[in-house]
Structure 1
């Protein structure tokens, strides 16, 4: 449970920092966006690093949500605390959408796609079977 809450907290903080460090170009033009990205390299690098770390952390919480739902559907044992704790990722995306809709949507799509790719439907994890 703590691990899932840690993933959600890291995902939210990284999402918040990514949104705050990305250049806000209104109205959006590629030239101004790339110029701001180029002339502020530290903010650009930190925003990209936060995006990467954040969507990986959120993807792990989404993976737990999906695996728990499938296990519940096929009537296997579900770790309820871990499964319900992973649903707090929905609230973190809710708050991120209030900050910036476009970047949050991009962040959400990457997290969901990677989370769905990482789903493991086998009864045990592969690394435990190899031991």
Structure 2
């Protein structure tokens, strides 16, 4: 029960941070490098908040992606999967990225790539195994 609430919390945090990051960064369509850098330099608070939201959001989304991938691997290995947690993660992540993609496609793709790579790196398939240490 608590794991499902944590997954829902991670989805909401990822969505909120992604939205705030997109809102606080300068527009990237059409992309003008000088305008983008100038906006970042002359609005340091917005730039810092956007970077902080990017970091927090992609970490939250990476945790959800890790849960989704771990559930898929457990299902393929024919082990027990927490279906409620997995369903909340899948539906929340797909809805979150769809809504963010409608707001700003380029930044959402970048956000998703970072989240996906970090989520895959942080997978631990051997967590459930217990090894005996010989001393």
- Pairwise same-fold verdict (TM > 0.5): yes
Gaps of 5+ in 2: none
SS at match of 2:18: helix
Find the aligned partners of 1:8 and 1:24 in 2 and give their Cα distance.
Answer: 24
Is 1:68 equivalent to 2:71 in the alignment?
yes
Is 1:118 equivalent to 2:122 in the alignment?
yes
SS at match of 2:21: helix
Find the aligned partners of 1:11 and 1:125 in 2 and give their Cα distance.
Answer: 30
Runs of 4+ residues deviating >6 angstroms: none
- The residue number in structure 1 matching 2:36 is 33
What TM-score, normalized by structure 2, do the two folds share? 0.89
Gaps of 5+ in 1: none
- The residue number in structure 2 matching 1:101 is 105
- The residue number in structure 1 matching 2:60 is 57
Report the CA distance shift for 1:65/1:36 in structure 2 as closer, same or farther (over 3 A): same
Find the aligned partners of 2:7 and 2:31 in 1 and give their Cα distance.
Answer: 36
Residue correspondences, number: 127
Find the aligned partners of 2:111 and 2:28 in 1 and give their Cα distance.
Answer: 18
RMSD: 1.6
SS at match of 2:78: coil
Report the CA distance shift for 1:52/1:125 in structure 2 as closer, same or farther (over 3 A): farther
Report the CA distance shift for 1:125/1:93 in structure 2 as closer, same or farther (over 3 A): farther
19-28 vs 102-111, which moves further: 19-28
